[in-house]
Chain A
Amino acid sequence: MPSLTAATRTVRSAWRSVFRVGWPRTDKDRTAAMISSFFLHVHSAKVKKHSLRASYTLGLGLISFYLLLVLVVTGVALMLYYTPHPPEAYRSMKDLQFVVTFGPVLRNMHRWAAHAMVLVVFLHMCRVFFTGGYKTPRRFNWVVGVVLFLLTLGLSFTGYLLPWDQLSFWAITVGSNIASYAPWIGDDLKYLMLGGHVIGSGALLRFYVLHCVVLPGAAMTLVAVHFFRVRKDGLSAPPQPEPSAIVEAAPGRFPASTRSYGLMALTDRPAQPVVESDPEDDEVLSWPHLLYRELLLLLAVLVVLHVVALVFNAPLEEIANATITPNPAKAPWYFLGLQELVHYSAFVGGVLVPGVIVLALVLIPYLDPKPRGVGVWFARERRWANWTFGAFAIVAVVLTIVGTFFRGPNWAWVWPWMR
């Protein structure tokens, strides 16, 4: 028996070497668990009840992150079967569909998660705007978020070409043509993007490398930055903070994080001058309240994705054929609003509107820095800002819907039920 005891002890000590705190049973342990784990310490030890309210954040940021995770996992699996060269690229799709074990589910899930991510990131951005979340001290993080939104579009767009079917070929043809409407550099931009004047094996390889290496790397890095700022600035903006409490890093001084809980919350050490006017009761420990919610949300996302992936097959049309142009040739759905505008004016839809929108999005926190009406949906103080943003968002959505469902051959108006 001594050997058994010794073995047990060894196993337990090995276990402790990985999970130093063990299963936390006290609040102190729970705090320690959050801090001692590399993966968990992205959370603060305590969170405001406010930010746990599903009706406040809708979990959209987290869903985006989960979708990104799913995309990375399924994407790596798909890479094992994919050859980024025509026509084998298309053949890979057929193999995935017909002979690779779990191939259809993998591909479907990757496809639908990608579409969902574009939508969810957009909704997340809307949520942050309508709750005034972009205001000091989260101004820069909004900018990071805008860039992440663009990266999401880029990832989705580059992935769109990889199946090398008619749908992808012509969507990218339309999409890259929109890029070529940029003044002066348009054609060069398109050439750079496609590695040629037309979409061929060079373009496919470029899109593949962008899709699998460059853009995911950039997105991961920026997601880390985004999270770091969230961690430093608090999970979400609290309602109505005192204007005086809003502090950003002053030159030469270590930034006093507003939401940087440490063990100090539970120890006798004198607390740092935490700028905090809420009563302590407003906070709960991240373990279990935040983690549990995260777990439930993950499960929900996975269940929904699986159901969608099992019920709906990812589209795959005929092999790409430059000589047969579908009518209409449509860009990926998230660019159909732009294509709709391009239909009226190439410059307006291809250059002016997207350029102005991106610029405006980046500048929003700097044009509207006053921390009024933060932390609640549709605050009265910000109704003009909300109206303006809301109007743009609705126009974008309407244009996209029109482009997707109401446009037929030659971009003529078609009622969806008349097709």
Chain B
Amino acid sequence: MRTPQTAPSRMHLAFAVLGLAFLGIFSWVFMQEFFAEWRTTQAQFRAIEGQVKDPHALSLAPPADGIRQIWLRDIDRVDRCTTCHLGVDDDAFVKAPQPFTTHSGTWLKTHPPDRFGCTVCHGGQGEATDYRDAAHQPIPHWSDPIRPRELIEANCGTCHREREPKEAFLLAAGRARIAEAGCIACHDLPGFSLDEVQAPRLESVGYKVRPDWLRKWLADPKAYLPQARMPNFRLEPDEIQDLTAFLLSQRQTTPLDASGVDWSKADADHGRAVFGEARCVSCHMIDGRGGTLGPELTTVGSKVRRDWLYSFLEDPMHDQPDTRMLRYRLADNDIRDLVAYLTEDLVDPDAATTPPAVGFLDPKQVEAGKQTFIKHGCFSCHRFGNLASTAKIGPSLMAIGDRTVEPSDFRGESADPTLENYLYLKLREPDKLAEDSRMPTFNFTEQEAATVVVALLSTRKADLPASRVTDAPAPKPYRPQGAFGALVSRYRCLSCHQVNGWGGTLSTVPLDRIGSQLQYAHIVAYLQQPYAIRVSVEARMPHFGMTADEARTIADYFSSVFVDDALEKPFAPAPDAARRGAALYTKLGCRGCHIIGQTGGYVGPDLSDTGHRLKPGWIQAWLAAPEKWKPGTLQPDYGLKPEEVQDLTAYLMTLSRTAAGRTP
């Protein structure tokens, strides 16, 4: 029997070392688990909880011990944020440090956590249980980090699809900007309609504009007019020449004949008076004053040809069937003088005085111009014959908020490679991020671009359950027929007024129940001779020159169709109601905003003629709940009792122009 073989001692040493190393490393695994970030955070919370709560409240609170999560079943999302944010729904932690602070505002009441969780609004990785992985700051491989304050409204917009979501001001501003800039013309974008894009038709533009103006305009619209809606397409000089030739060759509709006009008798000063009487400034701006519904006119005399303008004012729909401009009932001489005023007084001193005659254009250049027109997608806004049916020129933005960007997309621009930075740069300087980009430059301000980014980021894949989406119903087009319809079309009522949410927003008076608000005689008189009800408002009803027959047609329609039976109650006030109402009028300080006769404030409507103007049912309904009829109105809701409403109405119904002087 030999001596048993034994292992050499260096192996024992190796065993000791490796064994200890293994024990050490294995206990490290345990330590990592039991000193996990969320466990130590919960220990801190328990300490704070003991300080801010009394023992009774403490005993009622669920123990902060273990992972907490909110499961949003319908969108299959798990948020574990409340594992650390333990005080969000508890007012006791208002002053506690983060992550334990109570949630700010009333958001948790409007968006209860058990239905909305956290990441639906905030972004971030809800499944994570540590600060870094929750994506409080952007992390790799999580495309949806917690949104900073300036971007968080993008998450509001994912569910709130309406144009102006409440309390999401950046988002609403961004969406308004998108609508205004006409992004929908070139890109598919949910929530916007091609009908919102406004651009003149160009089929007859060859008769309309002067060549030198057109070249200047094409080179940079904002140089002509800083608030120009058309963006800058960064055209090359030869493209401008070609495009000018192409546009000037467009002469489909011959203007109405102005050859019989004796321009030598034109009186520009009288024209200026006509301009004022017709209230053109409600829509048109001159030298920075006036409305924005129509084109700016400061140097219109250097832009359009005189004969075309004469024809346009005779009948705007003649070559612009979609225009918002109404057709005034003006005498030919008035139009002549108006044209003289516009073309002689409103001119650019640097421009040539007389334009070259409409004449021959090189067909090759015209064809080249057509290609330029197509290349830059001009047909997207300027609907143009059969070109309008061409597919949208820009990429679809239907889920732009889900797009991923690579550093290479930035083409050397120094910015964090995030989607918001990409969109921001693209909006501000479209030519920087792509070779030969055809997207025009909109000259968005930093603020505007930021709001548009928010609105774009809110446009995400449409995979939300319908129960989570809120949207304003799209207004139904309102197109009245018959004699009334013809008048609505001629006088373009819907350029400013709305019916069932359809129409312009310049006027704050929707027509839906106008027949129950105004007295018949007043409507007839007012349409023929409009005057300022609210003197502080610059945009006023134009002076159409409407005939009495036309006014009656409209008033008849209003009084039989645009009515609300709830407002049409018989009004039989008590004998001394008007006296009490007058006292109430004084007591409430109505005169602070309203004029009666010669005295009162300028904020609200002039009430001098109320007795001949308004219907009592409407006055009562309005006084009882102004906010119901006009959200955001300046009229205070005094919480009047029904009898007070009746008294005040009785008083107001006694007011008339003739009686205004002698207030009871």
Contacts and interface: CB of A to CB of B under 8 A. Distances in A.
A27 interface: yes
A276 interface: no
Interface residues of A, number: 38
B127 to A, nearest CB: 4
Contact of A303 (B5, B22, B33, B140): B22
B428 interface: no
Contacts of B2: 27
Contacts of B29: 102, 105, 306, 310
A98 B133 contact: yes
Interface stretch (A35-43, A213-221, A289-297): A289-297
A28 B28 CA distance: 42
Classify the interface of chain B: helix, strand, loop or mixed.
loop
A103 B521 CA distance: 82
Given A98-B127, A98-B128, A318-B143, A310 B408 contact: no
Nearest to B18: A299
Contact of A30 (B4, B21, B76, B130): B4
B406 A327 contact: yes
Interface stretch (B6-14, B300-308, B577-585, B634-642): B6-14
B203 to A, nearest CB: 41
A296 B15 contact: yes
B3 to A, nearest CB: 8
Interface string A309-344: 010000011100000100100000000000000000
B406 A26 contact: no
A316 B25 contact: no
B18 A292 contact: no
Given A27-B5, A284-B5, A302-B22, A310 B15 contact: no
Contacts, number: 82
Nearest to A286: B5
B21 A303 contact: yes
A120 B652 CA distance: 97
B50 interface: no
A26 to B, nearest CB: 6
B141 A296 contact: no
A289 B29 CA distance: 31
Contact of A296 (B5, B11, B32, B127): B11
B134 to A, nearest CB: 9
Interface string B246-266: 000000000000000000000
Contact of A99 (B22, B129, B404): B129
A102 B34 CA distance: 10
Contact of A98 (B33, B80, B404): B80
B32 A26 contact: no
Given A26-B4, A316-B141, A324-B404, A98 B129 contact: yes
A295 B15 contact: yes
Contacts of B276: none
A25 B29 CA distance: 37
Interface residues of B, number: 35
B8 to A, nearest CB: 9
B26 interface: yes
A388 interface: no
Given A94-B127, A292-B15, A317-B141, A306 B25 contact: yes
Interface in B137-153: 140-143
Contacts of A292: 7, 11, 15
A307 interface: yes
B32 A105 contact: yes
Given A30-B4, A289-B5, A310-B28, A318 B18 contact: no
A299 B143 contact: no
A310 B32 contact: yes
Contacts of A166: 141
B480 interface: no
B486 interface: no
B1 interface: yes
A340 B406 CA distance: 23
20 contacts: A25-B4, A26-B1, A30-B4, A95-B127, A98-B127, A98-B128, A98-B129, A98-B130, A165-B141, A284-B5, A289-B5, A292-B7, A292-B15, A295-B15, A299-B18, A300-B18, A303-B21, A306-B22, A318-B141, A318-B142
Closest 5 CB pairs of A and B: A299-B18, A317-B141, A306-B25, A288-B7, A94-B127
Interface of A: 25-28, 30, 87, 91, 94-95, 97-99, 101-102, 105, 165-166, 284-285, 288-289, 292-293, 295-296, 299-300, 302-303, 306-307, 310, 316-318, 324, 327, 409
Interface of B: 1-2, 4-7, 11, 14-15, 18-19, 21-22, 25-26, 28-29, 32-33, 67, 76, 78, 80, 127-130, 133, 140-143, 404, 406, 408
